[in-house]
Amino acid sequence: MSERSWLRRPSVLSRQALVLYTALIVYGSWYPFSGWRSLGLGPLAYLSDPMPQYLTAFDVVTNVLGYMPFGALMVLALYPRWRGPLAVALAFVLGGLLSGVMEAVQTYLPTRVASNLDLAANALGALLGAAIMSPATGALLDRGLLRRLRLMWFERDSAALACLVTAWPFATMYPSPRLFGLGNWPRALWTRFDSTTQDALFAWAPAGWHVGAWPAWVAAWLPDDGWEALITTLNLFAALALASLTVRRHAPRVRLLLLFIVVALGVKAGATFLQSQSGLAFDWATPGALAGLGCGALLGLAALRLTRSARAGLAASALVVTLVFVNLLPVNPYFDVVLADWRQGRYLHFNGLARWLAWVWPYAALVWLAFVVERVWLGRRTRRA
């Protein structure tokens, strides 16, 4: 394979990111996926509706910004088969078609309103994102400083892990009883059961598995600030260890990981500021959380001296330990006040997406680690054979 043919290879990461972002658009457009009904209107009737009487700049800007990443990712995913104005035009058309389908289906959702203005704003966003990204596509994927840095600093076969690591800062947006305390969907599922159902489940389990008294017993081991520091430390360490697996040894790994922490905290503070009714951006920065941030950062940077397999193993162990404690420890009553301060209403689809991302991220990371272990084991077995 010639050097030029290698340069013109399509970007697997861009295509994976496009699929993921499209799924997020579908989720955000149709959430909460319940209450479907028909009002006797056709799915395309909204196209001929008059302009809405109450129009806010916030809604228009939000719809434009929401589809700009789609347009940009579409241009990157189409490269090198389609480039330049043709790629921009395809991104605009596909963005408009996607938005049109989303709006048409919203006709049958009671919590959503199909709008031709939203369709126009979304299509405009896809066009703007594609037009902005198109001139930089070659520099990012084919030639130029951005591509050289990408190839020098990051592993080539880490597209899936890179997407997973990139999603971690956004998984931390939704409020949790303890900072970075992700993956608590088993607790949420258990609390939705009534006492009769819980007793029935206990009846099928051995007596030693009855965990009714475990939360209070485990919580007594440390003060609440101590538990928050521990959970924050382990989760941040796991995220940094996984992020380091995508970075080459000769890259500025310390600076990249520090930048990753800054971005994660910026996303957390920004989401809290926008969603909190009181406008507090740092109400999550408790003494325990701050101590955990410092310890997790130090451990993550110190782990750079270890081998890749050691970092992956430690990340898996940290995730497993935190999942046990996150789902077992009792929730501080103050957390109900924090959660009540989180905006609902028109942010319902955003809240649902943020909550699901926080629920599933640790398990997705463990699945990826299990896949890597299986691949390494099969490779060694093949070589021995």
Residue-wise pLDDT tens digits, 171-180: 888 888 888 8
Least confident of 66-70, 98-102, 142-146, 288-292: 142-146
Query: Does the pLDDT value for residue 345 go beyond 50?
Result: no
Residue-wise pLDDT tens digits, 350-365: 666 778 888 899 999 9
Query: Does the pLDDT value for residue 88 go beyond 80?
Result: yes
Share of the chain above pLDDT 70, in %: 78
> Per-residue confidence at 127, pLDDT binned at 50, 70, 90?
very high
Query: Does the pLDDT value for residue 109 go beyond 70?
Result: yes
What's the mean pLDDT when you consider all of the chain?
Answer: 80
- Tell me the HSE value of 366 on the side-chain side, using a 13 A CA sphere: 16
**Mean pLDDT along residues 126-130:** 94
187 against 310, higher pLDDT: 310
pLDDT for the residue numbered 364? 93
The CA distances from residue 344 to 10, 275, 280, 341, in Å, are: 41, 8, 16, 9
Least confident of 119-128, 158-167, 199-208, 308-317: 199-208
pLDDT for the residue numbered 278? 60
Residue-wise pLDDT tens digits, 200-236: 656 665 655 555 555 555 656 777 788 889 999 999 9
Which pTM does this prediction carry? 0.70
Residue-wise pLDDT tens digits, 249-260: 888 999 999 999
**Mean pLDDT along residues 305-333:** 87
Share of the chain above pLDDT 90, in %: 29
Query: Does the pLDDT value for residue 197 go beyond 90?
Result: no
pLDDT for the residue numbered 346? 46
Closest CA to 301 of 247, 367, 355, 361: 247
